[in-house]
Amino acid sequence: MGPSPSPPPPPTGRLLVLYASQTGNAMDAAERVGREAERGGCPAVDVLSMDSFDPSCLPGERSVVFVASTTGQGDPPDSMKGFWRYLLKKDLGTRWLEGLRFAVFGLGDSGYQKYNFVAKKIDRRLLQLGAELIIDIGLGDDLHPSGYEGALDPWLLSLWESLNKANPSLLPRITDIINPNLNYLGDAKIEVIYYSCSDAPPDSIVSDSKKLIERARSMSPALKFHNDGAPQYMLKMVTNQRLTKEEFEKDVRHFELEDPSSVISYQVGDALEVLPSQNPSVINAFIERCNLDPDCYITIRAKGGSEVSFDSLLNGSMGRIKLQTFVALTMDVASASPRRYFFEIMSHFATAEHEKERLQYFASPEGRDDLYQYNQKESRTVLEVLEDFPSVHMPFEWLVQLTPPLKKRAFSISSSPLAHPNQIHLTVSIVSWLTPFKRTRQGLCSTWLAGLSPNEENLIPCWVHKGSLPPPQPSTPLVLIGPGTGCAPFRAFVEERAAQSARGPTAPILFFFGCRNEGRDFLYRDFWLKHAQDKGVLSLKEGGGFFVAFSRDQPQKVYVQHKIKEQSARVWNILCSGASIYVAGSSTKMPADVTAALEEVVRQKGGDAASGWRRKLERAGKFNIETWS
């Protein structure tokens, strides 16, 4: 068999936009880049996720815009990992990308220590490989008064001006980008095929829950590429226990989910993704507001795809699903806020003049800050926005394209498969907050889980995913730092090591936990104290230890980093014996404060040995952080 044919050259004047998105923001920003390029007359524009583009083809491109978000502690989105590995190959020379012009826009949060780390890394690496900058890197910040668009708007203007100067034939109508014609409506990217129940045999109607979820989500344009092959489980809740005191404002729950019929394949350090159910009354209200028929059957496909014959619909090969089921399983109408483009498209369908004017203002650069305050800051849902503009009646294909997808929520697993082979335990904070206008908002998934009664017939769709905390060997000593719900993965680590110690010798564990009050939110108190006694894996006698910081039980606040410094001798001794460090919890100040405390211990105790200690541990896979906002 001969060598595979080389890819065809890109069309003249093509602009390629590659994005890496974890929550959808980077994808939205990339699609906006593509839309504006098309408005300006760019002859060819392609907007692709990085995991659907072969990086070996990059030298054949001429103009590429990269849009990438940063997750956790400077981590790339999952969709970028393979692409990034390729760019780091040692055999790519300093002239590999000669002739390529590029621009990078990053999405991040300046509250994180490694702000926009991923975009900065891409920018630096492309320059090393010989590519040339179109304009300087743009850094979107979630904490900006307008969100990431506060930086994206001026950055895009600079991008189009620079491209226009370098190659006027690429973007001949820059004025159309800056002042778009809001009266022009393009086509939706998808189409909906409707047919009645009598048009297809009964066996094409899916009754199995797993298959129904798979069919709906593979049909959704925003979700069909998100199926990574992880096994799906339908789990029953057998325990729903509040861990914090009733009078304490924070509600943290311990959930136990079970598969009564089989063993669940997972490791400590893994995460469980849960697909939440939306309130049926909200789904019904959305369907009614949009004048949709909940009982009709539909097929959804990308516009411009292969022709669909009536026969293929009749024999069920295309698949079909009830409209109400599709909305419930794929479209987040109950919790996610729509994007700016949603308001632009709404303006085309507004029949009341005052509504049209307000929507066009929201979609304009001048209205950006007011839209951010009205929409994202207030966490308005798609249903709430549609109810605020009653004259708007958008076709269903536009609603499917523009409604944020219903996403799975990930939680650290807080149980060990050695102790619970057919169960998974979760430690979940039930999310609730007040908006600037004092409207109460609640987390969709956590609130839904909290409302489930144990041993009911409800089955929870779940997927096990490899976590960012690698499972340690039994012989490796551990330093675990997990304040609040950050203790979740470490409950699994301790449970696992206790099970391993019943079979043979294991290394000790130092665990630093933190909460506000001993009497109100000391999560899993009895569990930790049991393992800290006698020959437990957290016992001082065995070389381990359990140390708690109660931040509000005394006039001065005490946090986990203070306890680390107090126990500097123990921390240093266990590090000298080859310990791995694991940190989990809030993504803002805690990881930086904990790292600084560890650095101080190493500097005080280790002297010259302190130089580069963290980098050495990270290279050896012995310094691991998992955080969430």
Residue 560 marked in a binding site: yes
Residue 443 marked in a binding site: yes
Residue 34 marked in a binding site: no
Residue 485 marked in a binding site: yes
Percentages helix, strand, coil for the chain, rounded to the nearest 5? 35, 20, 40
Q: Which residues of 595-606 are buried (b: 16+ CB within 10 A; e: fewer)?
A: bebbeebbeebe
Residue 26 marked in a binding site: yes
Gap between the Cα atoms of 68 and 139, Å rounded: 10
Residue 123 marked in a binding site: no
Residue 304 marked in a binding site: no
Residue 265 marked in a binding site: no
Residue 412 marked in a binding site: yes
Residue 116 marked in a binding site: no
Residue 325 marked in a binding site: no
180 touches 32 (CB < 8 A):
no
Residue 70 marked in a binding site: yes
Gap between the Cα atoms of 52 and 83, Å rounded: 9
Residue 434 marked in a binding site: no
Residue 72 marked in a binding site: yes
Residue 559 marked in a binding site: yes
Residue 551 marked in a binding site: yes
Residue 512 marked in a binding site: no
Q: Count the alpha carbons within 13 Å of 27 in the hemisphere toward its beta carbon.
A: 21
Please state, as a whole number, how many other Cβ atoms lie within 10 Å of the Cβ of residue 28: 21
Beta strand spans in 415-457 (E):
423-429, 432-434, 440-442
Residue 292 marked in a binding site: no
Residue 136 marked in a binding site: no
Please state, in angstroms and as integers, the Cα–Cα distance from residue 322 to each residue in 194, 277, 285, 298, 516, following that order.
10, 16, 16, 6, 48
Residue 374 marked in a binding site: no
Gap between the Cα atoms of 611 and 615, Å rounded: 9
256 forms beta bridges with 239, 425
Residue 414 marked in a binding site: no
Residue 73 marked in a binding site: no
Residue 416 marked in a binding site: no
Burial of residue 345, with CB atoms counted within 10 A of its CB: 0-12 exposed, 13-18 middle, 19 or more buried: buried
What is the maximal distance between C-alpha atoms in the chain? 79
Long-range contacts of 285-288 (CB under 8 A, 24+ apart): 285/383, 286/327, 286/331, 286/333, 286/382, 286/383, 286/386, 287/323, 287/324, 287/327
Residue 23 marked in a binding site: yes
Residue 71 marked in a binding site: yes
Residue 552 marked in a binding site: yes
Residue 475 marked in a binding site: no
What Rg do the C-alpha atoms of the chain give, in angstroms?
Answer: 27
Q: Name the binding residues for FAD.
A: 409-412, 443-446, 628
- Write out the binding residues: 21-26, 69-72, 142, 409-412, 443-446, 485, 551-552, 557-561, 593, 628
Q: Which residues are annotated as a binding site for NADP(+)?
A: 485, 551-552, 557-561, 593
Write out the binding residues for FMN. 21-26, 69-72, 142
